[in-house]
């Protein structure tokens, strides 16, 4: 029997990781000791108080019942206090917070709630794949705003026509950026807010790496731009901030009517975030600041070891100001997937090929700094021994 997949699934780009995953499995079966810098899967453990809270929470039978889809009031209040403390935002816990089962879930379902055939969704490429896949799955048209190292991975809005802006339903920005680790200055958000108002589209800021920054370079919340709340929704994640990726916990804040619609579609899709996770997340959001300071210091040290290491192998990458990624040019003329496969075969190190983040990722690989200093040092040693070279 052959059953056709839905057309919208067929439209998704080729899954670049599939071949790499197969090869990883082959290497593993051969007994290779893989150093996996492929997926951005954080290894920093959550705060101890968070683990304690969820253990206590599950003893209460009430926790096993269906939670409220929009999240309990205490969770939304904790979110409101958090965004006030971290980004000086005034967010109503009643009307301006949506509780998410991870921010990816929210991003995709937000698109389902707003995007129709014919709608453009602008996004910055190279991109986190959900930024274009959400549009494809919801039947809209992804519109890449191309960026390169020359423009510091910032879009040039002046190159986009008024016609295209008129067809746009959502513009997605995400700084610090996965995979390029780029930061955006305030002017980018100011321009985007004013374009969203002028052309009547939604400005979506994916702020998954809001708290992973180094050397005091605190990134900007899009909602901190005056008047942004008229057009903007911002997505946050507990995955990287509190090492809670597997717990699936995030939230969106911003424009009341956008939040209302997101909550409405979600009442049709899920029954909300497990109450035990909400209780633990409230604890996470009130964790003393030392925890996040330590997390930043951990990633920053890894960044230093890794960047200094690959720069000793011919690369000239700058130390990223945040995120947990290093975006590295592969040797000129080399295909990034082939390069990742070669590195895996020769060294057991997993790097993500740049094309996983859109065609403009060709020529690069991404390293996720999700292992210890010692393993990162070992990765550099293995690259050296295997005579792997990078280009400036
Ligand atoms: C830019 C970006 N947004 C969202 C997510 C998804 O995060 P979550 O774990 O909250 O679904 C990721 C995960 O890597 C990401 O890189």
For residue 19, name the pLDDT band (cuts at 50, 70, 90).
confident
What is 14-69 written as a DSSP string?
Answer: P-THHHHHHHHHHHHHTT---EE-SS----SPPPHHHHHHHHHHTTSGGGGS---T
Please give the CATH topology (third level) of the domain spanning 7-45+290-385: 3.90.1150
Residue 386 clears pLDDT 90, i.e. is over it: yes
pTM of the predicted structure, to 2 decimals: 0.97
pLDDT in tens, 28-62: 898 889 999 999 999 999 999 999 999 999 999 99
**How many other CB atoms sit within 10 Å of the CB of residue 257?**
11
CA of 106 to the centre of ligand 1 (A): 10
Q: Which of 365, 326, 323 is nearest to 347 (CA)?
A: 365
- SS3 call for 324: coil
The 10s digit of each residue's pLDDT in 197-215 is 999 999 999 999 999 999 9
Q: Which of 102, 103, 174 to mutate to test the pocket of ligand 1 (most atoms within 8 A of CB)?
A: 103
Retrieve residue 235's tokens: 């997505």
Query: Does residue 175 line the site of ligand 1, with CB under 6 A?
Result: no
Q: How far is the CA of 207 from the centre of ligand 1 (A)?
A: 9
Q: In this predicted model, what pLDDT tens digit does every residue of 255-291 receive, in sequence order? A: 999 999 999 999 999 999 999 999 999 999 999 999 9
237, 241, 252, best to mutate for ligand 1 pocket (most atoms within 8 Å of CB):
237
State residue 391's pLDDT score: 86
Q: Three-state secondary structure along 157-221?
A: HHHCCHHHHHCEEEEEECCCCCCCCCCCCHHHHHHHHHHHHHHCCEEEEECCCCCCECCCCCCCC
CATH code of the domain occupying 48-285: 3.40.640.10
The stretch 342-369 carries a mean pLDDT of 96
**Three-state secondary structure call for residue 356:** helix
Query: Across the chain, what does the average pLDDT equal?
Result: 96
DSSP 322: B
List, for residues 99-154, the tens digit of each pLDDT value.
999 999 999 999 999 999 999 999 999 999 999 999 999 999 999 999 999 999 99
Q: Which pLDDT does position 300 carry in this prediction?
A: 98
pLDDT for 392: 81
Tell me, using a 6 A CB cutoff, whether residue 237 lines ligand 1.
yes
Pocket test for ligand 1, best of 239, 247, 281 (most atoms within 8 A of CB): 239
209 CA distance to ligand 1 middle (Å): 8
- Taking only the tens place, the pLDDT of each residue in 306-315 is 999 999 999 9
Question: What's the length of the chain?
Answer: 392
For ligand 1, the distance from its centroid to the CA atom of residue 384, given in whole angstroms, is 32
Please count the other Cβ atoms lying within 10 Å of the Cβ belonging to residue 249: 26
Tell me the domain boundaries of the chain.
Answer: 7-45+290-385, 48-285
């Amino acid at each position: 029997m052959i059953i056709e997949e839905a057309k919208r699934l067929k439209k998704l780009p080729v899954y670049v990781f599939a071949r790499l995953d197969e090869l990883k499995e082959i290497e593993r079966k051969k007994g290779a000791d893989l150093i996996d810098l492929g997926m951005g899967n954080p290894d920093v453990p959550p705060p101890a108080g968070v683990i304690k809270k969820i253990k206590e929470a599950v003893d209460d039978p009430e926790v096993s019942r269906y939670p409220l889809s929009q999240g309990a009031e205490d969770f939304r209040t904790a979110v409101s206090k958090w965004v006030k403390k971290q980004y000086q935002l005034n967010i109503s816990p009643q009307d301006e917070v949506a509780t998410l089962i991870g921010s990816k879930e929210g991003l995709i379902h937000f698109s389902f709630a707003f995007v129709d055939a014919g709608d453009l969704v602008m996004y910055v490429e190279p991109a986190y794949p959900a930024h274009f896949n959400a549009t494809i799955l919801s039947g809209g048209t992804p519109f890449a705003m191309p960026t390169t190292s020359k423009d510091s991975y910032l879009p040039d809005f002046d190159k986009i026509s008024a016609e295209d802006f008129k067809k746009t339903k959502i513009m997605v920005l995400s700084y610090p950026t996965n995979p390029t680790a780029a930061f955006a200055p305030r002017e980018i958000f100011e321009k985007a807010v004013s374009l969203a108002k002028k052309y009547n589209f939604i400005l979506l800021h994916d702020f998954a790496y809001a708290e992973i920054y180094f050397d005091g370079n605190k990134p900007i919340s899009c909602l901190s731009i005056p008047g942004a709340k008229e057009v903007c929704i911002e997505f946050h994640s507990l995955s990287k901030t509190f090492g809670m990726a597997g717990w699936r916990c995030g939230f969106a804040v911003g424009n009341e009517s956008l939040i209302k619609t997101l909550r409405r579609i979600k009442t049709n899709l899920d029954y909300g975030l497990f109450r035990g996770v909400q209780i633990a997340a409230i604890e996470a959001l009130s964790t003393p600041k030392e925890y996040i300071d330590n997390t930043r210091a951990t990633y920053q040290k890894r960044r230093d070891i890794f960047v200094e290491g690959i720069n000793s192998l011919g690369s000239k990458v700058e130390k990223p100001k945040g995120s947990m990624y290093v975006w590295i040019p592969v040797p000129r003329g080399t295909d990034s997937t082939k390069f990742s496969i070669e590195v895996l075969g020769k060294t057991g190190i997993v790097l993500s090929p740049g094309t996983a983040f859109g065609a403009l990722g060709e020529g690069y690989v991404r390293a996720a700094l999700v292992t210890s200093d010692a393993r990162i040092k070992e990765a550099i040693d293995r690259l050296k021994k295997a005579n792997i070279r990078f280009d400036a």
